[in-house]
Amino acid sequence: MSMGEKKFDAVDAIQEQWRRERPDLDGDAMAMLSRLGRLLVVATQKVESVFVAHGLQSGEFDVLATLRRSGEPYELTPSGLADTLMMSRAGMTGRLDRLERAGLVRRIADPGDRRSIKVGLTDRGLELVDVVATEHFENETRMLSVLSAQDRAHLDRITRLLQAHLTQAD
């Protein structure tokens, strides 16, 4: 399907029903947001399939990826990880427990502060996150391959604009 073609979809059917029943309502925004929601569901499934193939949940990959991109020695405090991933400390503890049991991270006592610990990638964790990150980036690139470079730039601009508007509107 070329960019100029419109393919009739389930959202079009819903929009037609609303036009028939309530022609006074403008359903364009509903249609666009419905498509974005449906796109998010499908894209999330495709993204998570890479993690599942390696025995990870997406949140676990997020922890490993955050440690990896922090640079050597690939260590952060649990609270730093929680803040970066915008999650509760308790939720982070659960993720770290699972990753530690799997041998992907280790907890390290901070020699400068006995009350503090750091979390670091194990050799196995580093190896796994590098493999999964490569597949993840390739998968996402493949998902967007239908778009030209210009289309991707427009989509990026539009989604940034919408995100900024919706987050400041609250």
Q: 112: domain CATH number?
A: 1.10.10.10
Dihedral, 39, 44, 50, 52 alpha carbons, nearest 10: -140
Higher pLDDT, 103 or 1: 103
97 found inside a domain? yes
68 found inside a domain? no
pLDDT at 169: 60
Q: How far apart are CA 146 and CA 144, in angstroms?
A: 5
Q: Which amino acid makes up residue 43?
A: A
pLDDT tens digits, one per residue of 36-91: 999 999 999 999 999 999 999 999 999 999 999 999 999 999 999 999 999 998 99
Q: What is the pTM of this model?
A: 0.84
Q: How far apart are CA 26 and CA 20, in angstroms?
A: 12
pLDDT at 115: 81
| pLDDT of 2 above 70 | no
Number of domains in the chain: 1
Domain that holds residue 80: 75-140
pLDDT at 165: 93
